[in-house]
Amino acid sequence: MSLPVHLVPTLAGSGVGGTVVVEGDEAHHAVAVRRLRVGEQVVLTDGVGARVVAEVAETGKRRFAATVVEREDLARPDPELVVVQALPKGDRGELAVEVLTEVGVARVVPWAAERSVAVWRGERATKSLARWRATAREAAKQARRPWHPEVDELARTEQVVALAAAADLAVVLHEDATEALADLDVPTTGTVVVVVGPEGGLTDAEVAALVAVGAVSVRLGAEVLRTSTAGVVACAALLARTPRWRRDDARGQPR
């Protein structure tokens, strides 16, 4: 059985034999909900590559302390996947973030595309972004990721175009594209950007702006996927052709 994973602000300086103190909601969940006990082992990660196995030494109401018995520091996965996700309606945004996190995306960029039904403004924008970030955090723990994904502030189209221009490979998922994703040469290092449009599809102007800076308009297959699942399917297809999904690189390399 896998050990439970908990997120801590930092593991800087936490070597074997050292003590890590976990406090707040994270500790409350472990102690009060999971009923963590002294002597049990847990995995602690800071979300930026460090991961330790630690033995619980003491527990409190909203805290526990654990002694490090094993530590590893993993390099950031390469190539890095960045997904620009047009705002879906309802709770499909959180679904998209969850599955993208599980598949190993490094960064999710919410995008107010022209045909996005959902609108993020004012307090709604603040709450929606907080939900996306909380979803990414919990999904990263569930997926046992040592590197947690970043979720950006809401992007404008010109910012998405700039991301595509700077990428080693940028693809735009478009059902009318003539080129297939499966036919692309995928870089084994660097940054790969995947642009996912809204339920209503991308406008011709949006596609043209992205293609003009080097992005490739591609289709996934004959089936039409929802915006909340198209990104994870594209990322899986890309990752299967990189060293990240080969047996000798499945967990990353020590830093």
**CATH code of the domain containing 66:** 2.40.240.20
The total of structural domains in the chain comes to 2
- The answer to whether residue 212 sits within a structural domain is yes
- The answer to whether residue 116 sits within a structural domain is yes
Closest CA to 40 of 48, 31, 49, 32: 31
Same domain assignment for residues 104 and 208: yes
pLDDT at 198: 94
Q: Sorting pLDDT into bands at 50, 70 and 90, what band is 181?
A: very high
Cβ–Cβ under 8 Å, residues 108 and 231 = no
pLDDT at 140: 96
Q: Sorting pLDDT into bands at 50, 70 and 90, what band is 210?
A: very high
Average pLDDT of the segment spanning 32-44 = 94
- The answer to whether residue 10 sits within a structural domain is yes
Has residue 223 got a pLDDT over 90?
no
Same domain assignment for residues 111 and 134: yes
Distances (CA, A) of 235 to 77, 162, 202, 229: 14, 20, 19, 10
Distances (CA, A) of 69 to 19, 36, 45: 10, 17, 14
Domain boundary among 24, 57, 73: 73
pLDDT at 1: 64
Q: Sorting pLDDT into bands at 50, 70 and 90, what band is 221?
A: confident
pLDDT at 176: 87
Q: What is the tens place of the pLDDT at every residue in 76-121?
A: 999 999 999 999 988 999 999 999 999 999 999 999 999 998 999 9
Domain boundary among 29, 58, 73: 73
Same domain assignment for residues 61 and 86: no
Q: Sorting pLDDT into bands at 50, 70 and 90, what band is 205?
A: very high
Q: Which SS3 state, helix, strand or coil, does residue 53 take?
A: strand
- The answer to whether residue 117 sits within a structural domain is yes
Domain span at 86: 80-249
Q: What is the tens place of the pLDDT at every residue in 51-62?
A: 999 999 999 989
CATH number where 155 lies: 3.40.1280.10
Domain boundary among 33, 58, 73: 73
Single-letter amino acid code for the residue at 122? G
Q: Tokens at residue 221, please?
A: 């297959």
- The answer to whether residue 14 sits within a structural domain is yes
Same domain assignment for residues 159 and 130: yes
- The answer to whether residue 255 sits within a structural domain is no
Sequence-separated (6 or more) residues with CB below 8 Å from residue 138: none
Per the DSSP assignment, residues forming a β-bridge with 56 are 66
Average pLDDT of the segment spanning 157-176 = 96
- Prediction pTM value: 0.91
Cβ–Cβ under 8 Å, residues 207 and 170 = no
pLDDT at 249: 54
Same domain assignment for residues 88 and 27: no
Average pLDDT of the segment spanning 131-142 = 96
Q: What percent of the chain has pLDDT over 70?
A: 96
Same domain assignment for residues 116 and 162: yes
Has residue 253 got a pLDDT over 60?
no
* DSSP H helices in the chain: 25-28, 92-103, 122-142, 157-166, 204-212, 227-239
Has residue 248 got a pLDDT over 70?
no
Closest CA to 237 of 190, 189, 187, 181: 181
pLDDT at 76: 95
Same domain assignment for residues 145 and 209: yes
Same domain assignment for residues 108 and 207: yes
Same domain assignment for residues 148 and 68: no
Has residue 255 got a pLDDT over 80?
no
Same domain assignment for residues 101 and 175: yes
Same domain assignment for residues 112 and 210: yes
- The answer to whether residue 254 sits within a structural domain is no
Same domain assignment for residues 161 and 213: yes
- The answer to whether residue 88 sits within a structural domain is yes
